[in-house]
A and B are shown apart, each in its own frame.
Chain A
Amino acid sequence: MSEWLYQLENLTKEYGGRRVLQVDNLQVRRGEVLAVVGPSGAGKSTLLRLLNFLEPPSDGCIRFLDLQVTADRPAPLAYRRRVTMVFQRPVLLDRSVGANIRYGLQIRGCRNEDHELVAVLDLVRLRDVVHQPARTLSGGEAQRVALARAIVLRPDVLLLDEPTANLDPYNVGLIESILRNLNREFGTTLVLVTHNVFQARRLADRVALLLEGRIVEVADVEAFFQAPQDPRTAAFVRGEMVY
């Protein structure tokens, strides 16, 4: 098994001729927590959509395991299903909490998923509301359902797009501890997009700064915060405007 799970080479993404992402080289290690920080509009969410194979790159290549994804070679379903994402604003199905969490298993044709469901419900502390309609949940509970419906699939990679923005400290703490456990116990690789440098510092093994669609610096978490190589990273870490 290789050390790298993802290798991005000369990757670009354009929308209507406007280049929003240009990553010359980026790797995601197997089992690590990689935080991608940067101001809004830097291309962080676009990067996640590409890593989730929801959109093809405009140019360049994403290597994932033994797969090569390019503009005209999309990822097959089996690979796509090894990666899943938790979005900043979860959109749940108008069904019960339990049915929402089972959704991903159902579309994979899994049956007898009750055992996994119970385990995941305990993990996100939603056992009491399993039969409740998802639309009646609070913001924090809804995000935990979104996390649960992703975790229950046991993905190789979990992508997180600002998963705790706008949540209260209790939910932030709970979600962060779930993520930490997931990474330690199951070795799930996490790619976390956040504009919160404190969260990146709490969770990440490595941090990447994305600015105007380009990777400015990637470093281990200590080096990134203590001894940034790029002046723009230093400014971002200090909380100054870098653009």
Chain B
Amino acid sequence: MPPAGARRHQAGKWRGHVPDETRRSTIDEIWNGLTEAFRRLGTLDPALVEIVLLSFRVSGTALLVSVVLGIPLGAALGLSRFVGRKLVTALIYTGMGFPPVVVGLFVYLLLSQSGPLGRLDSPLIPDLFTPGAMVVAQIILSLPLVAGFTMAAVLGVDPELRQQVQSLGATRVQAAWTVLAEARSGVVVSVIAGFGSIISEVGAVMMVGGNIEHRTRVLTTAIVLETRKGNFDLALALGFILLALTFLTNVAMLWLQGRSLDR
């Protein structure tokens, strides 16, 4: 088979009328993309490995922070009644639908040299066009999803349960923990939703990361770039790899969900 990129589409060429050969070659592209994906995976292509690792490092770190903050936040919102709870809930639900590109713009402005946070020059605040900046943007995207779905899952647990386990001698913390354990299917969904939203997201990482080779290039931004360059084989290969890795990650999380709490 021809080397990658040898058979380029002429991106930008006028395509008002699509001849039959081109249609057939679209099927070929998909096929080539698949084989290319396997070839690159099989040979552990260093450029690919770098991109995959950075994708998972950025989205993994953002997810970890979102889970550590979002699950307790969602559980607290689901379990407690306080003035302003409705407002906080509405804010979280709004956050669940944040457009990544707008979050990217927002973080861009915050972190840029003249922005309110960038100006502080603090070592705790990441610079623009670094993986740290991408992590910040992705936390903003996934935290509301994790917190929102966790809250919904906790609210779905029979409200009588808490009183009944307290009657059996559970402390407040034990009772809250038990309710969260009962909501575990929904909590796993919250993690999967949070992960899915950021591993597949391109707007924010492109905006604050800049898709710099060897530094901030992740799977999604690489796909955009290769598509623009007309490297459909490679773009598709990256797409398949992204899908496959996301699938495997979700299978792993579902395996955790399916594990019983019985001893």
Q: Does B associate with A? A: yes
Interface pair B160/A87, CB less than 8 Å apart? yes
Interface pair A107/B170, CB less than 8 Å apart? yes
Known contacts A91-B160, A94-B182, A107-B174: A149-B168 contact under CB 8 Å: yes
Q: Is the interface of B mostly helix, strand, loop or mixed?
A: helix
Using Cβ atoms and an 8 Å threshold, which residues of chain A touch B171? 77, 107
Q: Which one of B188-196, B219-227, B255-263 contacts A?
A: B255-263
Answer yes or no: B165 CB below 8 A from chain A CBs. yes
Q: Which one of A95-103, A173-181, A205-213 contacts B?
A: A95-103
Interface pair A89/B263, CB less than 8 Å apart? no
Task: For the complex, give the distance between the alpha carbons of A159 and B260 in Å.
Answer: 31
Answer yes or no: A93 CB below 8 A from chain B CBs. yes
Answer yes or no: B21 CB below 8 A from chain A CBs. no
Q: Which one of A24-32, A78-86, A216-224, A228-236 contacts B?
A: A78-86
Known contacts A93-B182, A99-B261: A108-B169 contact under CB 8 Å: yes
In chain A, positions 90-148 with a C-beta closer than 8 Å to chain B are 90-91, 93-96, 98-99, 103-104, 107-108, 131, 146
Answer yes or no: A52 CB below 8 A from chain B CBs. yes
Task: For the complex, give the distance between the alpha carbons of A131 and B263 in Å.
Answer: 10
A54 partner, pick from B167, B174, B181, B182, beta carbons under 8 A: B167
Using Cβ atoms and an 8 Å threshold, which residues of chain B touch A81? 169
Task: For the complex, give the distance between the alpha carbons of A80 and B178 in Å.
Answer: 18
CB distance from B158 to the nearest CB of A (A): 5
Using Cβ atoms and an 8 Å threshold, which residues of chain A touch B249? none
Answer yes or no: A203 CB below 8 A from chain B CBs. no
In chain B, positions 146-183 with a C-beta closer than 8 Å to chain A are 158, 160-161, 163-171, 174, 178, 181-182
Known contacts A104-B169, A107-B169: A91-B261 contact under CB 8 Å: no
Answer yes or no: A153 CB below 8 A from chain B CBs. yes
Known contacts A93-B178, A98-B262, A99-B262: A87-B164 contact under CB 8 Å: yes
Interface pair B182/A103, CB less than 8 Å apart? no
Answer yes or no: A150 CB below 8 A from chain B CBs. yes
In chain A, positions 43-93 with a C-beta closer than 8 Å to chain B are 49, 52, 54, 77, 80-81, 84-85, 87, 89-91, 93
CB distance from B161 to the nearest CB of A (A): 5
Known contacts A91-B158, A91-B161: A84-B168 contact under CB 8 Å: yes
CB closest chain-B residue, reference A89: B160
Known contacts A93-B178, A93-B182, A95-B260: A104-B164 contact under CB 8 Å: no
Task: For the complex, give the distance between the alpha carbons of A59 and B262 in Å.
Answer: 42
Interface pair A54/B166, CB less than 8 Å apart? yes
A85 partner, pick from B167, B178, B261, beta carbons under 8 A: B167
In chain B, positions 228-263 with a C-beta closer than 8 Å to chain A are 260-263
Q: Which of A49, A94, A150 has the most CB of B within 10 A?
A: A94
Interface pair A84/B262, CB less than 8 Å apart? no
Using Cβ atoms and an 8 Å threshold, which residues of chain B touch A85? 164, 167
Task: For the complex, give the distance between the alpha carbons of A205 and B176 in Å.
Answer: 38
Interface pair B168/A107, CB less than 8 Å apart? yes
CB distance from A179 to the nearest CB of B (A): 17
Task: For the complex, give the distance between the alpha carbons of A206 and B125 in Å.
Answer: 70
CB distance from A124 to the nearest CB of B (A): 16
CB distance from B78 to the nearest CB of A (A): 16
Task: For the complex, give the distance between the alpha carbons of A42 and B167 in Å.
Answer: 21
Contact with A along B197-223 (1 / 0, CB 8 A): 000000000000000000000000000
Q: Give residues in A with beta carbon < 8 Å to B.
A: 49, 52, 54, 77, 80-81, 84-85, 87, 89-91, 93-96, 98-99, 103-104, 107-108, 131, 146, 149-150, 153, 159
Q: Give residues in B with beta carbon < 8 Å to A.
A: 158, 160-161, 163-171, 174, 178, 181-182, 260-263
CB<8 Å pairs between A and B, sample of 28: A49-B163, A52-B167, A54-B167, A81-B169, A84-B167, A87-B160, A90-B164, A91-B158, A91-B164, A93-B161, A93-B165, A93-B261, A94-B182, A94-B261, A95-B262, A96-B260, A96-B262, A99-B261, A103-B178, A104-B168, A104-B169, A107-B168, A107-B170, A107-B174, A108-B169, A146-B164, A149-B168, A153-B168
Given contacts A49-B163, A90-B164, A95-B261, 14 further A-B contacts (CB under 8 A): A52-B167, A54-B167, A87-B167, A89-B160, A93-B178, A93-B261, A96-B260, A99-B262, A103-B178, A107-B169, A107-B170, A108-B169, A146-B164, A149-B168
Nearest 4 pairs of A and B residues by beta carbon: A81-B169, A104-B168, A96-B262, A85-B167
